[in-house]
Structure 1
Amino acid sequence: MSEEFKLGDLVWAKMKGFPPWPGRVSNPSKEIKKPAAKKGPTFCVFFFGSNNYAWIEKANIQSYHQHKDTLISSSKTGQFKSAVEAIEDFIAKGEVFEDGPDPDSLFDRLKEETNTDVVAKSPKPTKPRKETPKAKRSESSLGSRPAKKRRESTASNSNISSTSPALNHVSPVPPPRKSTSTLLNRPANITRPVTPLLDVETMSQTLKDKNILPSNLKFGFLGLGIMGSGIVKNLINSGHHVVVWNRTEDKCTDFVKAGAESVLTPSDVVASADITFSCVANPQAAKDMIFGNCGVLTEITSEKGYVEMTGIDAETSQDIGEAINAKGGRFLEAQVQGSKVQAEEGTLVLLAAGDRTLFDDCQTCFEAMGKNSFYFGDIGNASKMNLVLQLVAGVTIAGLAEGMALADRIGLQQKDVLEVLELTSLACPAILDKGRAILDCDFQPQLPLQHMQKDLRLTLGMSDQLEQNLPLTAAANEVYKHAKRLGYADYDASAIYMGAKF
């Protein structure tokens, strides 16, 4: 004869893929909706140990006290034993029987006591919550194996979220450890940062002080991103004749108002200009400018010069240089050291290599862009120099982020750390600026995090070819990648702090 269960009854509830689990018939919360697909009567069950809920069919529920001696040995896992201890503790505190004290008040009190370190709705499930009922695992996989080995589950198990759409429940899995509870506070739904509008027509005081006599040549520029916008602004305001192109055409509007020309394709820029600069996102984008549809190569002649300012590796730079030279054109790589502020102020440092005559023809442009320019000879040398400098910068920022995260974790005031740091030999604009950004959680992009991670990746690739160990760079690269996965790719490199903290 089947039993009838009522609110507050202690039960054994069986879910597919799990042993019978101690629970309590409970009122479902608003977010736990009753599934329509269940056959026959169902009850909402609270699972001890995991503090989760599920709708269970009546046929899969048995009285806890009646079947305790039989089912208490159905599993020997630590999670199961913790669940049994939790329900026994519940009984010991409240003496929960049909004629005993009000079960709901006792249950609510226990839940409040045992749930202090568990966030009810986390933005991202913790490792234990990947054990969903849909995963068909044997009882041995829930046995007494080490915790790390339990991660070796089926592919379907790893892709199922903590709430199964088919069963509309949360699986009876163990609660997260206290040491990882802070991970549940990680930010979610990171939105793309809004880049402030650039005042293109206003000349900076730095540029005024340079008093540049512009070249009579016509210059093209491909890419009006964070760096490109500031560079073109200074070219225009220093009196150079500039033709611009950008993948999203509306970005060209303000530059046209300031005196630039705008054309439809990269090949149109090369056709209109004597020397064309390119500053895009990554090596692949740089190659697309050259070899893509309506690309640069279609208009390169012996009278044209091409300057690559994108942060790329030496091999990519050499490939581009060979393609330009094959068409009779001149090629120069001009890597940039600096960020958004330096680009807008005209205080970048430029690292050039390639055609020396092209380097000389670009001098008035380089004066407008930066405070100094260096020539390193053969194509590829400037890219190598830039990656070495980016390695130092990337590892330094990562170290700062980890230090600030540790200070916060151990209860120190981050502003005190920064104040002391400012008085030491470590004080420099890069560390102090990134430290303030971390302190204020203001990660408006100066140098995007994804670009820094890209440079570290290229550096590791370069070192791998030479079998040069870069353990610190490799470790820092992983933290940047983690921050990217959290959604901070488009934010400033200082947002690596979020990867270090969470």
Structure 2
Amino acid sequence: MSESFKLGDLVWAKMKGFSPWPGRVAIPTPELKPPKKATNAQCIYFFGTNNYAWIEDNNIKPYQEFKEQLIKSCKTAAFKEAVNQIEEFIVSPEKFGDLDDHARNAEEEFDKLKDVLEEDENQEEKPADEEVAGPASEPTTSKKKSATPKIRLGISKVKPIKRSSSAGTKSTPRKKSKGMSRSYTDIDAANEKPSMLNHSFSKKSSLLHRPSNILRPDTPPLDLENVSETLLEKNIQASQMKFGFLGLGIMGSGVVKNLLNSGHKVVIWNRTAAKCKDFEKVGATLATTPCDVVEEADITFSCVADPQAAKEMVFGNCGVLHCPSLESKGYVEMTSIDSDTSHDIVEAISGKGGRYLEAQIQGSKTQAEEGTLIILAAGDRSLFDDCQSCFKAMSKNSFYLGSDIGNASKMNSVLQVVGGVSLAALAEGLALADRAGLNQADLLDVLALTPLASPHLILKGRAMIESSYSTHQPLMHMQKDLKLALGLGDTLEQSLPLTATTNEIFKHAKRLGYANHDVAAVYIRARF
């Protein structure tokens, strides 16, 4: 039996996929139009996120009554911040004064909406204007009388509510349309808190029109001085050569950390210079340009975002080729690239007397930090041998796949196909289990006991269930690798229907705003 709530009540509100969250029964923003079943729902303002969503009555509980029970339902920093904010509101509501402005504006907008509904009831065979529901909308027409749901507005004679001063910019009133667009709240499971609840999209609008301004979840900073136990157990004898490193992203940072902690001399460069400061404090030498890195180092590693970025490191302004001499210097490409790009780079490097090696890496942020990556190498054998102390510091195994340039890139693409398809299948399986009313955690427990068991899939499955998408392997990088695999398939005339479908799934997840989140965020595409 549902509770009876009124405007201003402090509550616990639960959205599917999230823990109960502290909130307040509120007047909806102009962007948040009533859902189809508004008579059984309340508009909730979520503390800590400053967002709004329609929540069904049976998913709302009084705040004080269930505080002791539900305050333990989540332990994330965002949840604790929300609880602190609602407690502060209870003690000093005057600090949340600018909520009054929202209430007054919302009343005016909702009064206009009532007028629109009344007008629609008296109009027949009139085409509806263009729907305004999101970043893009589709014009619709109808020759039938507009169906007007009975909506409990309940806002004409109420005390204005207060809104947090941290709510950000004021919302812009929507364009009024003659036909009311029924909207459904989009759910942002890209974070550990509801962070996109005040965006809504039309029932008739494409999923591709959902907004994508979703914040990337916090990723814990890298502890450069903490030497991993795995690295200590390896007992590495560092090479006396000087090594350069281009790129301090998610993977590059972990690799450089282990090179430094194992006693190697490292010269670094990164497009964002601020990232270099912490590495300088623990022994790295900073260089001004990629060219300077190559000039100072005996062997230079490159680990950047994609094939285009890899080419810029070599052919771009102040790039590797601008170095006065590459004679006997080594260049190791660790970026996930296609074989054609690798051929272009080796021709340029060897043309100036340098040595070249592909060294594709398999693993994620955690493996990079622990020094347990897998190295897939192809190219100059002498360079592979010279890099052994470095490879030992950054990986648990390195494979030499021959002198043919492209072998490592191709092997990496094949492995990414298997990984990407598996993740998409796991996401769909979890979504199906949830829709069928099954406990998703039980599914993972059973999966772990079957021949399909995989530590990686179980780990990503937990992240999907918990909506925890801190970036260990960026979703956009997986999609990029799937695209490279499809290109390889086209070159070899090899049919890859599953890969093509999986690529579209990851592309869609990117379009929804999860490009910089972990690959586990592909679940959002499967679930919603």
Normalising by structure 2, what TM-score? 0.66
Deviation of the 1:195 alpha carbon: 2.7
Change (3 A) 1:31 1:308: same
Q: 2:144 matched to which residue of 1? A: 81
- Written as runs of structure 1 = structure 2, the 5 A alignment for 1:100-119 is 110-112=150-152
Deviation of the 1:48 alpha carbon: 7.7
How far apart are the structure 2 equivalents of 1:380 and 1:413? 44
Q: Give CA-to-partner distance per residue, 1:301-348, whole Å, 9 cap, x none.
A: 112110000000000011001110111100001000111111111111
Equivalent pairs counted in the alignment come to 374
Q: Structure 1: which 5+ runs fail to align?
A: 1-27, 36-42, 52-63, 88-108, 114-162
How far apart are the structure 2 equivalents of 1:205 and 1:251? 25
Q: Give CA-to-partner distance per residue, 1:257-316, whole Å, 9 cap, x none.
A: 111111111011001100000000000000000011100111141121100000000000
Q: Give CA-to-partner distance per residue, 1:102-137, whole Å, 9 cap, x none.
A: xxxxxxx92349xxxxxxxxxxxxxxxxxxxxxxxx
1:335 aligns with 2:413: no
With CA pairs under 8 Å and 6+ residues apart, which has the higher RCO, 1 or 2? 2
Alignment partner for residue 199 of structure 1, among 220, 223, 228?
223
Deviation of the 1:433 alpha carbon: 0.7
Change (3 A) 1:73 1:110: closer
1:497 aligns with 2:492: no
Runs of 4+ aligned residues of structure 1 deviating over 2 Å after TM superposition are 28-35, 71-75, 77-83, 109-113, 173-184, 186-189, 192-195
- Written as runs of structure 1 = structure 2, the 5 A alignment for 1:8-157 is 29-31=107-109, 44-46=115-117, 64=122, 79-81=142-144, 83=146, 86=147, 110-112=150-152
Q: 1:99 matched to which residue of 2? A: none
Amino acid of the residue matched to residue 456 of structure 1?
Answer: L
How far apart are the structure 1 equivalents of 2:459 and 2:526? 18
Alignment partner for residue 451 of structure 2, among 425, 428, 434?
425
Change (3 A) 1:173 1:304: same
Q: 2:250 matched to which residue of 1? A: 226
Q: 2:417 matched to which residue of 1? A: 391
Structure with larger Rg? 1
Is contact 1:47-1:172 (8 Å) kept? no
Q: 1:190 matched to which residue of 2? A: 214
How far apart are the structure 2 equivalents of 1:170 and 1:413? 42
Change (3 A) 1:286 1:253: same
Deviation of the 1:240 alpha carbon: 0.6
Q: Structure 2: which 5+ runs fail to align?
A: 1-105, 129-139, 154-171, 186-201
1:170 aligns with 2:177: yes
Is contact 1:302-1:329 (8 Å) kept? yes
SS state at 1:255 partner: helix
Q: Give CA-to-partner distance per residue, 1:384-438, whole Å, 9 cap, x none.
A: 0000000000000010011111112222221111111111111111111100111
Change (3 A) 1:310 1:171: farther
Q: 2:56 matched to which residue of 1? A: none
Q: 1:404 matched to which residue of 2? A: 430
Alignment partner for residue 480 of structure 1, among 506, 511, 524?
506
Amino acid of the residue matched to residue 276 of structure 1?
Answer: T
How far apart are the structure 2 equivalents of 1:74 and 1:236? 68
SS state at 1:243 partner: strand
State, as a whole percentage, how many aligned pairs show the same letter.
Answer: 59
Alignment partner for residue 464 of structure 2, among 430, 438, 453?
438
Is contact 1:79-1:174 (8 Å) kept? no
Amino acid of the residue matched to residue 179 of structure 2?
Answer: P
Normalising by structure 1, what TM-score? 0.69
1:367 aligns with 2:374: no
Alignment partner for residue 347 of structure 2, among 307, 322, 343?
322
Q: 2:318 matched to which residue of 1? A: 294
Deviation of the 1:349 alpha carbon: 0.6
How far apart are the structure 1 equivalents of 2:467 and 2:126? 51
Is contact 2:109-2:173 (8 Å) kept? no
How far apart are the structure 2 equivalents of 1:425 and 1:82? 57
Change (3 A) 1:78 1:245: closer
Is contact 1:218-1:275 (8 Å) kept? yes
Amino acid of the residue matched to residue 276 of structure 2?
Answer: C
